[in-house]
Chain A
C-alpha cells in the first residue's frame, strides 16, 4: 500500500504531457507487468501471423522449410539417435536431411513426440512426407509459439532486468518501448511464425548470453551462447564478439590464464553434453560435422543483400573463381571486417562496446561470409534491437531495409499481407505518441540529411509497389530482386560503417558497469 501511495503522489505531480502519463496504464505496476502486457500482445501478434500460409505450402515435391522441420521430427522420433545424421535406406539425406547441430535435432525430437501424441499421421516414417493438414499445421505452429514463449520471452525479460535494473519512473515507458521493440521484431515474427523456422530458440539463447555478459555472469553467458551455437551454427556470427569481449575482460583480471581456462572448460563441457551421443567415435562426429558445413553449396543463395550478391552484377564471382578460392576469399574478407571491432573489445571491453561489437561482427559475417541466406539478416538485427534505445534511428532504418531484403522471399511464401501489417505495426509502436526520444539527432541521420532520408524512404515504398505490381523485363527476370538487394546492401554498409565508427569512438568506458547514460 505504501508503494502505491507514493506512486500516486508522483503521478499527480508529473503533468499531462509527461511520457509516463501517456503510458501510465502500461507501466504503472512495474517492469514485470509491463513485460506481461507487451508479451501477451506479442503472442497475440504471433498467433495471428501463424494463421497465414507457411513456406512451401501446397508446393510438392520438396515443399519448404515447414516440411524440413516436420521431416526432422519424423526422422528423430522414428530412428535411433546415431542414425539421425547418417544416410540410410530409412533416412534419405537428400530429402531435407538434418543439417543443423544436435540441439535442433533434440528440439525436433521433443516437438515430434508432441505431434505423435496428438496427431500420429503427421510424423509417421515415410508416409508422412509432405503431410499437410489443418491439425498438422496448427500443431506445428504451436510448437514455434511455445518455443518462443519458453526461450525468447524469458531471455528478453532477463535482458531487460539486467540492462535497466530498478528504473526511475520516467524511464519506465522507455523500458516498455524497448520490450516491445525486442518482442515485436517484424522480421523474426515473419520468419518464425509465417515462413516457419525456429530462430527464436537460438536468438533467445543469444539474448540470454548477452544478458549474462552484461550482468557479469560470464560463465552463464558461455553456456547459453554454446547452446545457441548448438542450435543453429549461424550463431557463429556472434562468436568473434563474444570471444573478443570475454578475452578482453579476462586479460584485465588478476589471473588471465585461469579465467580463460575456466571459460574454455565451460564451453567444452556444454559442447560435450550436447554432442554426447556422437562422441563414441571420430567418424560419427565427422559425419555430423560434414552435414553442418554447407560448402558444397554456392557462395550465396537466391538474392541476398550482401557483398557477393550485390557485386555479382559486375563481377561474376561464381564464374571467375572456383569454390575453394571463394571460400578463402570470403573468409579473409569476413575476418578483416570483424577485426576492428574485435580489437576494440580486446583493448577496452565495455558493455556498450560489446553490443556494438555484436552488431558489427554479425554484419561482417552477413556481408562477406560464405553461403548466406536472406534470413540471416535476423542475426545482425538482434544486436541492433538490443541497441534500440541508444540508436533508435539506426535501428528503425536497419529494420526497414532488413524487411525489404526479405520481401522477395515473403512474396514467394504468400505472406504479403502480414508483411505490411507487421511493418506498419512496427512503425506505429516505434513512433508511439507521448515519447520524447530524440530520433533525428543521430549521426547517420545527420550524415544522410533529411532530404535524402525522405527520398530513400520514398524509393523504399515505390520498390515495394513496383515489385508487387510490375513484371520485370524478359531479358532480366531478376531485375527487381537485384535492385532491391543493391539498395539494401548500400544501406547495410552505411549502418555497419556508422556502428563501427561509433564503437571506436566509445573508447572511454573501461569499467564493467551497466551504462546508464544514453543519448
Chain B
C-alpha cells in the first residue's frame, strides 16, 4: 500500500519518467555500440569526407570541393554540424579530417568516432520524444518509447548503414511538439532549421505553411498580418543564417548541389512506392504489345541511373518528369491541406505531417527507401491513440522495416536485421495487446472519438487482433523473404538476379499504398 501511495502520479511523474526514458536510450545505446563493427555503406565515407571538407577548407570552398566523389550535398546547417563534429574528430585522430589521406580511412578510431556521434546525436530524438510524450499517461509513454527509441529502422539505417536520421527526425519531433502545445512560432522555427539541415524534409512544408497560416496568423486581418510578418521574418532569418554566407560569396552552387534533378526517377534499389507499379505496368504493357506485333522500342536508359536525357526510359506509358511527380505529391496532399485550412487542430498536426511524408515517399522523385523513416517515427507517436491506429502502425512499421532489408545485403548482418524486425514485431504485439485488451479500453483514448465508436461497434470483443487480410499479407512477407533468400538462388540460380529485390519492392509498395489510403481516409473522416 505504502509503495502505491508513494509512487502515485504526482510524485513519480517527472523524475521517474526521465529516468525510464534514459534507461530506454541507454539500453539501445549498448546495442548500438555492439554494432560498431557491422557493415557500413558508402554513406559512412560520405560523412567522413564531409568532416574533412568542412574541417580543412574555408566556408567558401565547402560546396566546390571535388577531391572525393562524395561531395557535400546537404544544406548549410548540416555542413556546420559536420564542422562542429570535425573539431572533435581532429582531436581524436587528425587523419579522419585529412582531405586526401583520409580517403576511405577505416581505422577503428574513425569507425568508433563516427558511430559514436550518431549515438550521441540520437539525444535529439530522445528530447523530441520526451517533449511529445511527457504529458501522456505512463503506459502510452512506454509504448511510444518502445517503438520510437527502439525503432528497428533507426538501428538499420543509422547504426548499421550509417546516417544521422535519428538526429534529424528528433528535430522534426521537437517542432511537432511545439506545434501541439500551440507554440507555433517555435514550431515553425525548428522546422525551418530542419529544412536547413536536410532539405528532403521540405515535403511537409505545404502542410506547415497552411497550418501556420491558419492557426498562427489568425484573429483579424491586422493581427493576422502582423503574425504572418513575424513568422515570415523568422523563417527568412533562419534561411538567411544558413544560405546567406554562401550567397554573399555569390555561390548558386549550393542550390545546384542540393537538387540533383539529373538523377533518375528511382533510386538504385526501387523504393517501395507508386512508381514501382508504374514501371511494372509499363514493362507489362510493352511485353504484351510486343507479343501483339507492335513495334515497341526498348528504352536505352535505366530508371535508376543518373542520366535521363533525351532517351525515354518508358516504352509505352508517358514520361515522368520531376514536375509531374511534384504535381502528384501536391495533389495527394490536397485533402490534407484542405482539412488544415478548414480546421487547424494542433492534435492533428503530427498525422498531417506524417501523411505529407507518406505522399512524398509514394509519388516523389528519386526517393530513397530510407525516407520511410520520416513518416513511420511520427506515426509511432500517434499509434497509441486508438486501436485502429495501433493496427495500422503495427502493419506499417513491419512493412517499412522489411523494405529496408536490402540495405544490409551482407550475410553477416542477416541475423541482426531479422532479429531486430522480429523483436519489434513481438514487442509491438505484446505492447498493443496490453494497451488494448478489449473494446472497452479504447473509449478512454483522448482523441478521435468518432472513429472509436465505430471501432467499438465493429469489434466490441476484439482487442488487439489484426484482421485476416493483414495476417495473410504478413505471411506473404515471410514467403517473399524465403523466396528471395533461399528458393530463388536454389531454383533459378543467377538468372533474374534482380527479381527478389523487385519482388520486395512491389510487395512492400502494396503495404505502403495501403497505409497511405488508410491515413488519407482517417484524415478525411476526422471531424
Contact = CB atoms under 8 A, between A and B. Distances in A.
B419 A17 contact: no
Given A15-B7, A424-B26, A28 B411 contact: no
Nearest to B415: A47
Contacts of B440: 8
B3 interface: yes
B283 interface: no
A4 to B, nearest CB: 5
Interface stretch (A85-93, A282-290, A310-318, A431-439): A431-439
Contacts of A424: 26, 30
A36 B435 CA distance: 19
Interface stretch (B232-240, B253-261, B351-359, B424-432): B424-432
Interface in B81-118: 112
Contacts of A18: 3-4, 7
B434 A145 contact: no
B33 A11 contact: no
Contacts of A44: 31, 416, 419-420, 423
A8 B12 contact: no
Contacts of A411: none
Question: Per DSSP, are chain A's interface residues mostly helix, strand or loop, or mixed?
Answer: helix
Most chain B CB within a 10 A radius of its CB, from A49, A52, A425: A425
Contacts of B3: 17-18, 436
A43 B420 CA distance: 10
B274 to A, nearest CB: 34
A101 to B, nearest CB: 30
B12 A16 contact: yes
B30 A40 contact: no
B479 interface: no
Interface string A426-462: 0011001110100000000000000000000000000
Contacts of A33: 426, 430
B29 to A, nearest CB: 8
Contacts of A142: 415
B437 A8 contact: yes
B412 A134 contact: yes
Interface in B353-388: none
Nearest to A1: B461
Chain A, interface size: which category?
35 or more
Interface in B28-53: 30-31, 33-38
A422 B426 contact: no
B38 A51 contact: yes
A408 to B, nearest CB: 20
A11 B463 CA distance: 15
Interface in B427-454: 427, 430-431, 433-435, 437-438, 440-441
B6 interface: yes
A18 B9 CA distance: 11
Interface string B127-161: 00000000001110011001000000000000000
Given A18-B4, A28-B430, A429-B27, A45 B34 contact: yes
Contact of B35 (A5, A8, A51, A145): A51
Contacts of B138: 16, 21-22
Given A16-B7, A25-B434, A51-B38, A425 B415 contact: no
Interface stretch (B16-24, B289-297, B394-402, B489-497): B16-24
A293 interface: no
B487 interface: no
Contact of A11 (B7, B9, B437): B437
B280 interface: no
Given A8-B438, A37-B430, A22 B30 contact: no
Most chain A CB within a 10 A radius of its CB, from B27, B430, B435: B430
28 contacts: A4-B438, A4-B463, A5-B437, A5-B438, A8-B440, A15-B7, A16-B137, A18-B3, A22-B138, A24-B434, A28-B430, A29-B430, A37-B430, A40-B419, A40-B423, A41-B423, A43-B419, A45-B34, A47-B415, A47-B416, A134-B412, A418-B33, A418-B34, A421-B34, A425-B27, A432-B23, A433-B16, A433-B23
